[in-house]
Amino acid sequence: MRIALGADHAGYELKRLLRGFIADMGHEVTDMGCYDAQRVDYPDIGIALGSAVANGECDLGVLVCGTGIGMSIAANKVRGVRCALCGDAVSARFAREHNDANILALGARIIGDETAKAIVAAWLGAEFGGGRHAHRLDIIAQYENTEAAK
Ligand code: RB5
C-alpha cells in the first residue's frame, strides 16, 4: 500500500523510526514532512496529509505529534478522512475493523517506540469488517456532504 507519513517537530524522531518500519513491511512510504526538528505548526502537515489520503494520492496515512491530538483534529477536518488517535494496539485494530480509519494519529510524547510500532503493525494488519460498520460510516459521510457540515 501507499502510506503517507507526517509529523511536527514533536513527532519528527518517531516518524523517522516509523518510516523504516513501514517500508520494511513492504509498503511504499511518502514522507510529507517535517524534515528536521525545527518547530512547525501541526495543522499544516495534518491537513496536507489528510488531503493526500482523501484524494487518493495515498491509501493510508500516519500522523505523529506530541500527543496525537492536534494532528487528529486537523486531519479530521478534511472531508473523507477518518483519523483515529490510538495509544494501544487493540484500539488500532478496531479503528480499522470497525471504523475503517484511513489515518492513524500517534502521540510521540505519550507512547514509546515499541508501542508505536505495535500500534502501526496492528492497524496495517487489520481489515475493515464492512456490514453494519459500513452503514455507520455512511451516516458520517452523508453528514459531511450536508450544508450544515460546511
Ligand atoms: C507541539 O508542542 C504540540 O503542541 C503538538 O505536537 C501536539 O501535541 C498538539 O496536539
Q: What is the set of active-site residues? A: 65, 98
Answer for the pair 61, 49: CB distance below 8 angstroms, yes or no. Answer: yes
For 60-112, the pLDDT digits (tens) are 999 999 999 999 999 999 999 999 999 999 999 999 999 999 999 999 999 99
- Give pTM, 2 decimals: 0.98
Q: Which long-range contacts (CB under 8 A, 24 or more apart) does 89-95 make?
A: 89/115, 89/118, 89/119, 89/121, 89/122, 90/122, 91/119, 92/119, 92/120, 92/122, 92/123, 92/126, 93/122, 93/123, 93/125, 93/126, 94/126, 95/123, 95/126
Give the pLDDT of residue 121: 98
Atom of ligand 1 nearest to the CA of 8: 6
pLDDT tens digit string along 128-144? 999 999 999 999 999 99
Residue minimizing CA distance to atom 5 of ligand 1: 66
The residue nearest atom 10 of ligand 1, judged by CA position, is 70
Instruction: Give per-residue pLDDT as tens, 3-13.
Output: 999 999 999 99
The residue whose grid cell reads 459500513 is 134
